[in-house]
Structure 1
Amino acid sequence: MSRAAVLGAGSWGTTFAKVLVDAGNEVTLWSRRPELAEVINREHRNPEYLPGIELPAGLVATHDATAALRGVEMVAIAIPSQSLRDNLRGWAADLPPDSSLVSLMKGVELGTLKRMSEVIAEVADAPADRIVVVSGPNLALEIAQEQPTATVVACVDEARATAVQKSCSTGYFRPYSNTDVVGCELGGAVKNVIALACGIAQGMGFGDNSLASIITRGLAETARLGERLGADPLTFAGLAGLGDLVATCNSPLSRNRTFGERLGRGESIEQAQAATHGQVAEGVKSCRSVLELAQGLDVDVPITAAVDAVCSGRLTSAQMAQLLMSRSMKSES
């Protein structure tokens, strides 16, 4: 058993905290809002983010980040990706030395174009072999309901990846280890953008052929970008690539897909954002940073570019579909 802190009491942070407790760890969950921490401690529920789910009695919640981090061996971070840098600056001094820093976030930082592990390394002044990434088809509510799922735990230090893998293994949550941090993070970031495109197509009334085409070509542009960044191509055929992409593009539990559906039905970004009740569709912001990252490396990412144009108001959903279908003919390979 190890001691762990999970920073972020949204749906995925709370779910991962539950997984860690069920795996036999002592876990403290940090909540930005003290009233939510009180509800979790008193009722063993997080009704706002995980309705209907009973949380383990051993899960302790707090609003005090310093207390949550005291003496832990693992720190898992589950907050919106674009807020990581500012939050981590406030936590960095309290991170125990040599604790495993686990990123549960999927995104590319605006401006710096850094992956989440790179932001953690910079702000926490931590070496890459201390930073772990969890990625895969991780729809929080299904995992909280203890539906069987698999995920990837990636770290350049294979021994640390294996240690975290063992710490979050349960009868319903099966982690696989990997050393390709770049590929796992990139798959998680780009799939949010592709899921927005699938949602837009769904909202416009398109069927399974359209969705399958977007998923497949979305995987192709993810792999092109990953190859340029030095990722292992096999990663994109695995859980952190294709697995995460399929789940996020198809499930009504996916915030990115459902956000895209609203755009496809003609809602504005503001209307769609209001309908998500404050939960973040990461792809809306990540589409810009992923596009800029790809452009800087001269990698063609037409779906990402089209989604960015819709999210910035330069194209309508109908114009996006027309643009993608009118591109010049080329070989699939």
Structure 2
Amino acid sequence: MTVSVLGAGAFGTALAISLARTGRPVTLWARDLADMDVARENTRRLPGFTFPETLAVTGDLSDAAQSSILLLTVPMQSLARFLTQHTKFLDGKTLVACCKGIDLTTGLGPAEIIRRACPAATPAILSGPSFAVDIAAGLPTALTLAVDDGHALQTALSTPNIRPYRSADLVGVEIGGALKNVVAIACGMTIGAGLGESAHAALMTRGFAEMQRFALSRGARPETLSGLSGFGDLALTCSSDKSRNYAFGLALGRGEPLPEGTTIEGKATAKAVSNLAKKIGLDMPIADMVVAVLENHLTVNEAADMLLTRPLKEE
């Protein structure tokens, strides 16, 4: 089974490098090649990691789409448009979404977006606690691969440092990956505002409960959120400034200039989740708080006060 990675951001590049180190031919598609094909390195997104000999780089999507397995590492909010524009190349393939989030326009996760845009494709989700630099450096990384029948795909995506665990719960896996970004922004805000480690731990814990509540309302299996793509990804993303969402929250809490040119998936996901929860009467106070701060309806300290003055209740 041949593999291509569509999208040459840091994470897509890291996956392509790790897969190619096995000696298999792997293709990395980039919208803008820059000098990657000459330098044999992604100097803009993931500098310092030389491409293996078996990693081919192309700007021709039709060439990359010859593979039977296509890893989609485009940003979540661009996924639907990307699939719709290139259906003729992608339909009928195994499409593995590596982006994390919920589409703000439709309220859909990546699996359903794939089904609607490419009905003959096999949708899958690759998610879990992982940083691009760790994968590219060959450090051990365990992920969840959600797909209806995934034994062959699991083998194809395994490398010496990437260990994918199978799950049939696509909804649970994609929601865990999406909502942990929202909680990570909130946790970053907490630390950035100087509210302390105890508040950070409390917010992370209540955020996990919020993730479970939303996932169950969408038909996910409860045990999925306790796995790599739920609790595992939450633990990593909410405690390291390598996380773009956590770092974004830190900057918000400190009142510092916000990073430019970086995809912060949790921003759009927070809004999408808040909107969906209101429609079904689901209580999502942390997501609502993040949205209120992002839209300048509340300051970080006002948001913290709002959470602390909520009615007392059982855990």
Shared fold by TM > 0.5?
A: yes
Tell me how far 1:16 sits from its aligned partner. 1.3
Q: Distance in 2 between matches of 1:168 and 1:300?
A: 37
Tell me how far 1:305 sits from its aligned partner. 0.5
What secondary structure does 2:238 align onto? Answer: helix
Q: Distance in 2 between matches of 1:173 and 1:224?
A: 30
Counterparts of 1:42-191 in structure 2 under 5 Å? 42-70=38-66, 72-95=67-90, 97=92, 99-126=93-120, 130-155=122-147, 157-158=148-149, 161-191=150-180
Aligned to 1:302: 285
What secondary structure does 1:67 align onto? Answer: helix
Answering whether residue 260 of structure 2 is matched by residue 264 of structure 1, we say no
Q: Distance in 1 between matches of 2:236 and 2:138?
A: 16
Which of 294, 301, 305 lines up with 1:318 in the alignment? 301
CA offsets 1:197-255 (integer angstroms, 9 cap, x no match): 01101111233212111111111011011111111101111101100001111111100
Preserved contact between residue 5 and residue 30 of structure 1 (Cα < 8 Å): yes
Counterparts of 1:197-212 in structure 2 under 5 Å? 197-212=186-201
Task: Tell me: CA distance 1:24–1:176, structure 2 relative to 1, closer, same or farther (3 Å).
Answer: farther
What secondary structure does 2:181 align onto? Answer: helix
Q: Distance in 2 between matches of 1:64 and 1:30?
A: 7
Preserved contact between residue 135 and residue 240 of structure 1 (Cα < 8 Å): yes
Task: In structure 2, list runs of 5 or more residues that go unmatched.
Answer: none
Q: Distance in 1 between matches of 2:82 and 2:13?
A: 18
Counterparts of 1:9-28 in structure 2 under 5 Å? 9-28=8-27
What secondary structure does 2:86 align onto? Answer: helix
Tell me how far 1:96 sits from its aligned partner. 5.6
Q: Distance in 1 between matches of 2:22 and 2:214?
A: 35
The residue type equivalent to 2:207 in the other structure is G
Moved more, 213-222 or 54-63: 54-63
Normalising by the residue count of structure 2, what TM-score does the alignment of the two structures yield? 0.96
Aligned to 2:263: 280
Q: Distance in 2 between matches of 1:253 and 1:79?
A: 19
Q: Distance in 2 between matches of 1:326 and 1:281?
A: 29
Tell me how far 1:8 sits from its aligned partner. 0.5
Preserved contact between residue 23 and residue 168 of structure 1 (Cα < 8 Å): no
Preserved contact between residue 18 and residue 138 of structure 2 (Cα < 8 Å): no
Task: In structure 1, list runs of 5 or more residues that go unmatched.
Answer: none
The residue type equivalent to 1:50 in the other structure is L
Percent same amino acid among aligned pairs? 39
Answering whether residue 219 of structure 2 is matched by residue 236 of structure 1, we say no
Aligned residues: 315
Runs of 4+ in structure 1 displaced over 4 angstroms?
none
Q: Distance in 1 between matches of 2:273 and 2:249?
A: 17
Q: Distance in 1 between matches of 2:183 and 2:270?
A: 9
Normalising by the residue count of structure 1, what TM-score does the alignment of the two structures yield? 0.91
CA offsets 1:63-107 (integer angstroms, 9 cap, x no match): 11111112x11011001111111111221101263x211000111
Q: Distance in 1 between matches of 2:85 and 2:72?
A: 13
Q: Distance in 2 between matches of 1:95 and 1:135?
A: 21
What secondary structure does 2:104 align onto? Answer: coil
Aligned to 1:246: 235
Q: Distance in 2 between matches of 1:243 and 1:24?
A: 30
Q: Distance in 2 between matches of 1:126 and 1:207?
A: 50
Aligned to 2:33: 34
